[in-house]
């Protein structure tokens, strides 16, 4: 088995845990009603900060995947995975662009936009969750193929 692929899989797992924690923090914030003691502008600032934090983790993570040999190693170990790797790369662009767009909305958000903003953030988190699952399945499949445990 390629030690590099195994090390990459371990690093991905660690990064996914950090991203998961940032996403959970954002989701908790989005699902929490704005309390009467908290001004909506304060809540929007917290939301923006949480989006920025998640976006920062994602930029680092996606850069590692795209430029840190992950994608090349996966395709090298399993050439049939090339279309899925390309879809994951496209997901990166979509997720980052949406994250940045939502951050801009939160920065200039008005109370009338909060409901829509919540829905859009939850949609972003669902896209991210599906992406991470697809990525994990791909890595597991490539590791299993590399081990020779698939038929």
The percentage of residues in the chain with a pLDDT greater than 70, rounded to a whole number, is 89
Could you report the per-residue pLDDT of 120-138, keeping only the tens digit for each? 999 999 999 999 999 888 8
Average pLDDT, the chain: 85
Per-residue tokens: 6: 């195994």
What's the average model confidence in pLDDT over 90-110? 90
Q: What is the pLDDT of residue 69?
A: 72
- pLDDT over 50 at 9, yes or no: yes
What's the average model confidence in pLDDT over 55-82? 85
Domains held by the chain: number: 1
pLDDT band at 91 (very low <50, low <70, confident <90, very high): very high
pLDDT band at 150 (very low <50, low <70, confident <90, very high): very low
The C-alpha R_g of the chain, in whole angstroms, comes to 18
DSSP state at residue 34: P
Counting every residue, how long is the chain? 151
Per-residue tokens: 63: 């850069």
pTM of the model: 0.85
Domain that holds residue 138: 3-147
Q: What is the pLDDT of residue 126?
A: 97
């Amino acid at each position: 088995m390629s030690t590099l692929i195994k090390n990459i899989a371990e690093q991905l797992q660690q990064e996914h845990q950090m991203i998961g924690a940032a996403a959970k923090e954002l989701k908790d914030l989005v699902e929490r009603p704005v309390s009467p003691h908290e001004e909506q502008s304060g809540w929007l600032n917290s939301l923006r900060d949480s989006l920025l934090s998640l976006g920062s983790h994602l930029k680092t993570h996606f850069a590692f995947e795209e430029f840190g040999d992950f994608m090349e190693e996966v395709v090298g170990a399993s050439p049939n995975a090339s279309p899925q790797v390309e879809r994951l790369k496209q997901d990166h662009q979509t997720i980052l662009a949406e994250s940045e767009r939502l951050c801009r909305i939160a920065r200039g958000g008005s109370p009338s936009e909060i409901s829509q903003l919540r829905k859009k953030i939850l949609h972003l988190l669902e896209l991210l969750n599906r992406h991470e699952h697809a990525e994990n399945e791909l890595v597991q499949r490539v590791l299993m193929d590399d081990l020779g445990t698939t038929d």
